[in-house]
Structure 1
Amino acid sequence: MDISDIDCIKAYLGGDADALAPMVEKYKRPLYSFILKMTEGREDADEIFQETWFRALKNVHKFKHKNFLNWLFRIAHNLVIDRARRNRKNVSMQSGAGGDDGNSTLEDHLAAPGITPAEETGGTMLGSRIEQAVSTLSPEQKEVFMLRMYGNVSFKEIARLQKCSINTCLARMQYALGKLRSILKDEYEELQEAMS
């Protein structure tokens, strides 16, 4: 029998330190996947994942939403945005500027060439191509796409998370899908031919 999130939270607040373990297990994959896609780096994703759970545990008494995963996504979203703002201030275009002063070069933030995690684990070029296409989306479009497609978050919740109207959220998804459709046109046609 599956214990509800509310029961786990009540038990945790009642003093059972292990009561949230089923929730951590239940939500770790979708949460980590979302963070990994939004940060484009395993080291950042690991740190944000841990910080998300730390903040969730620290503030679990404030949880009033119906969906705990959406609450975790909101915490992670804020952490990703904060990290991006901090990193943007520290990036230098000069190739030799990375030093002990905390600044890094633009080269340090570019994706390394070679096999991507999707190619390595999935073994398909299509997965890599889709990942590349998604990386071309604007941050807002990418987030809407990732939350909807991988997190199954409602557009209403995404709009609240992004602090925009639901129409803006829907438009971002429409633009994202249109851009992905355009970029992946050849792959789609190849797939259609293979299926006919």
Structure 2
Amino acid sequence: MTIAASQIFTIEEYLELEAHSLSKHEYHNGKIVEMSGGTVVHNQLGGKVITQLNNVIDAHDAPFQVYSSDMKIRIESNNRFVYPDAVVVTLNPEFYKKRRDIITNPLLIVEVSSNSSAAFDLGDKFNMYRSLSAFQEYLIVSQEKYHVSRFYRESADLWRTSDYYNLEDMIPLQSMGLEIPMLGIYKGVDLNP
């Protein structure tokens, strides 16, 4: 799909183009932005986070579902559709206009971050996510070093942050009442190939 940088699209046009596209695109208030392909490390970390989330949910028979980077999130306040690296919802996901590929009520969002994306992940993207009323927790997983940042909503405008650097650490998922091992995310991943 070839898109002129200055072209403005409606949501319906975007969704129709995206349904027939071979690559992923986000929607940013009328603009369609092609997503770059992920690195080997990015893909490994994203997959391992999803595995760890599913493992702990299954082990505790917890009422949550995990979605991969193929699931879009609708951020109405910013007129955006975005693809995070992983999303957790309750067993009652809410879908945008009954579409099964776009959710509106993420509980926990995970982004695998690089040096080039870290500022956006911590800044504008986090601000957009915070406008979602169901959103309670945010994990940013570094692909440069052993480091996971966790943000948890304590009240409407109060977020707590914790950072984890040791492979022996357990990362609490306060929104779910569970925890995942840092080692499970990074084991076998060569951060400096």
Global fold match (TM > 0.5): no
TM-score by length of 1: 0.28
TM-score by length of 2: 0.28
Question: Which structure's residues are more often strand, by fraction?
Answer: 2
Question: Which structure's residues are more often helix, by fraction?
Answer: 1
Structure with bigger gyration radius: 1
